[in-house]
Amino acid sequence: MIQPLDHLPTFGEPHAIALAGKFGAVGYARMEQMTGRLALWLAERGLAPGDRIAAWLPKGIAAAILPLAVTRAGLVYVPVNPLLKRAQVTHILADSGAAMLISVAPRLATLEPGDVPMGVALVEESAIDAIMADAALPGLPPSGADPDALAEILYTSGSTGRPKGVMLSHANLMIGARSVASYLKLGDDDRTLAVLPLSFDYGQNQLFSTWWAGGCVVPLDYLLARDVVKVARTYGITTLAGVPPLWVHLVEADWPAEALASLRRITNSGGALSRPLIARLRKTFRQVDIYAMYGLTEAFRSTYLPPDMLATHPDSMGRAIPDAEVLVVRPDGSLTDAGEPGELVHAGPLVAQGYWRDAERTAERFRPAPAVSIYGGIAVWSGDTVVRDGEGLLRFVGRDDAMIKSAGNRISPSEIEEAALAVAGIAEASALGRPDEKLGQAIILYVRGEAMLCETDRDALPDRLRAALRHALPGFMQPAEIHILNDLPRNPNGKVDRVALAAMALEGAA
């Protein structure tokens, strides 16, 4: 039976620990009470059912419990990546139509007049913590919400334009938790170290899948690899999820035997593991299961490779996760043969409900499933080209759109270009990704200065541009290289020739 998001069916004892960290330990019974108190407080704010509650928070008790409490109150949760800066946060607040923003005082102080739409309530995290801790307050019981009702909006970058909100139902989130807990073989004695942002589907699932199994989550905002090692040792961590750039740093860290003693599994998504990195992971994390995975925010997770197949199939994405149907199809919707490239199409109950208030882009990506689909209904047409081999395992070939995937983040070139064009003296800008061993892709930015710039202003332009981008964009969106050209290459239609720029970028890396 699929239940609403706010009622996770944990299988541990009521006194078992659900959350642990520098804030102490929170048992399942106490977490239920805290969820109920916060849900009742939200329900009494005079908000309409389905109103959006945005949270721009560091990892802690509030960030972990809010998705449960918001949905229990009949509202919709909108987590905001804590690495984002005011321009991106302003867009998300306006686009989602948020009724409330919950954050910490220093972050709220970065917002300028006009950033927050009229009527949006600003609430500090300390107030949320006080509500949850007040044992005298009553609480709302678990809801009886329709599993298909909207529960969350997760913002993800698209190949063009600003971030778009992916609409997720209670069922999407619950089935995702059940599926991952199943194939990772999580149990009530597992302790998951949550180092990924809770605003990402992959990061948020660290909570839900662990709680589904009755285990404990240890949230961590880390600065250095040694912080991860220290917490793994202190809490006896069994499960660690990451993206390739994180693993590059972790395999270089010193892992004492006591930090590895409890570790059972590591999981990777947000970019493929290279063969050299796999070798280093196997050397560092001996006797630990390594799960390679592929996912789409629009369908949460699509495939995983069982750990015992990693050595023989290091380039494989694996096969469909439980509750997912993954097809490889030709342009006419028919299934490809083994070894024949085709588009990856994901069908089944993990498919999201589309993009928030964006019917045009929803229609492009969310379309009727191919006739051969078992599930039918609406499927996600990924735009990714993959190949299925004779064993039914998938291999990634390429991405059709212009998305940049760097350090586990999906980045819209348009966001970087827009920030560059806001700088005085920049006439044109084009951003793209170039293969990079550590990042997956490094961001390369090409710009053309205005023709009327004097020589002094032209010489100062690179430094001014970098300073402006540091102010406007989060760290993971900063270009690794900036090239100022007299003109950008163009195709016969007069548009910027991205293929030519990509060739230039590769030549520059040689």
Number of domains in the chain: 3
Is 161 within a domain? yes
What's the CATH number where 354 sits? Answer: 2.30.38.10
Output phi, psi for 295, to 5 deg. -150, 165
Is 447 within a domain? yes
Task: Identify the helix (H) or strand (E) that includes residue 65.
Answer: helix 61-72
**Residues 61-83, mean pLDDT to the nearest whole number:** 96
Collapsing DSSP to helix, strand or coil, 62 comes out as helix
* Residue 92 domain boundaries: 1-221
Residue with tokens 């599994």: 265
Tokens of 393: 């395992």
pLDDT at residue 8 in the model: 66
pLDDT at residue 433 in the model: 93
* 326 contacts 342 by C-beta, under 8 angstroms: no
Q: Tell me, yes or no, whether 94 and 107 share the same domain.
A: yes
487-501: per-residue pLDDT in tens? 889 865 567 888 899
List of residues 6+ apart from 375 with CB closer than 8 A: 325, 347, 348, 349, 369
Q: Tell me, yes or no, whether 51 and 179 share the same domain.
A: yes
Output the DSSP codes for 470-487: HHHS-GGGS-SEEEEESS
For the beta carbon of residue 358, count every other beta carbon within 10 angstroms. 17
**Residues 197-208, mean pLDDT to the nearest whole number:** 93
Rg (alpha carbons) of the chain, rounded to whole number = 23
Closest CA to 292 of 320, 311, 316: 316
Q: Tell me, yes or no, whether 86 and 188 share the same domain.
A: yes
Is 261 within a domain? no
What's the CATH number where 36 sits? Answer: 3.40.50.12780
List of residues 6+ apart from 427 with CB closer than 8 A: 447, 448, 449, 450, 451
Q: Tell me, yes or no, whether 385 and 419 share the same domain.
A: no
* 164 contacts 361 by C-beta, under 8 angstroms: yes
Instruction: Say which residue, 450 or 76, is predicted with more confidence.
Output: 76
Output phi, psi for 64, to 5 deg. -80, -40
Tokens of 347: 């069908």
Task: Identify the helix (H) or strand (E) that includes residue 499.
Answer: helix 498-509
Output phi, psi for 164, to 5 deg. -115, 150
Q: Tell me, yes or no, whether 376 and 336 share the same domain.
A: yes
Chain-wide mean pLDDT for the chain? 92
158-192: per-residue pLDDT in tens? 545 578 999 999 999 999 999 999 999 999 999 99
Is 7 within a domain? yes
* 392 contacts 400 by C-beta, under 8 angstroms: no
List of residues 6+ apart from 165 with CB closer than 8 A: 78, 92, 95, 96, 153, 154, 155, 355, 356, 357, 358
Return d(Cα 98, Cα 51) in angstroms, integer.
7
Is 276 within a domain? no
Return d(Cα 510, Cα 507) in angstroms, integer.
5
Q: Tell me, yes or no, whether 447 and 340 share the same domain.
A: no
pLDDT at residue 117 in the model: 95
Q: Tell me, yes or no, whether 499 and 457 share the same domain.
A: yes
Q: Tell me, yes or no, whether 62 and 150 share the same domain.
A: yes
> Which of 352, 373, 401 represents a domain boundary (last residue)?
401
Q: Tell me, yes or no, whether 305 and 433 share the same domain.
A: no
Residue type, 230: K
Q: Tell me, yes or no, whether 397 and 413 share the same domain.
A: no
> Which of 199, 221, 243 represents a domain boundary (last residue)?
221
Write down the pTM of the prediction.
Answer: 0.86
236-293: per-residue pLDDT in tens? 999 999 988 889 889 989 999 999 999 999 999 988 888 888 999 999 999 999 999 9
Strand partners, 355: 166
- The lowest-confidence range among 220-234, 292-306, 313-327, 421-435 is 421-435
318-365: per-residue pLDDT in tens? 999 999 999 999 999 999 999 999 999 999 999 999 999 999 999 999
Is 251 within a domain? no
Q: Tell me, yes or no, whether 367 and 412 share the same domain.
A: no
What's the CATH number where 415 sits? Answer: 3.30.300.30
Residue 18, pLDDT above cutoff 50? yes
417-464: per-residue pLDDT in tens? 889 988 988 888 899 999 998 899 999 999 988 877 777 777 888 899
pLDDT at residue 151 in the model: 98
Is 229 within a domain? no
Residue with tokens 């090409």: 446
Is 256 within a domain? no
104-120: per-residue pLDDT in tens? 999 999 999 899 999 99
Q: 368: number of CA atoms within 13 Å, CB side?
A: 5
Q: Roughly what angle, to the nearest 10 degrees, separates helices 125-133 and 61-72?
A: 70
> Which of 221, 247, 276 represents a domain boundary (last residue)?
221
pLDDT at residue 508 in the model: 76
Q: Tell me, yes or no, whether 361 and 426 share the same domain.
A: no
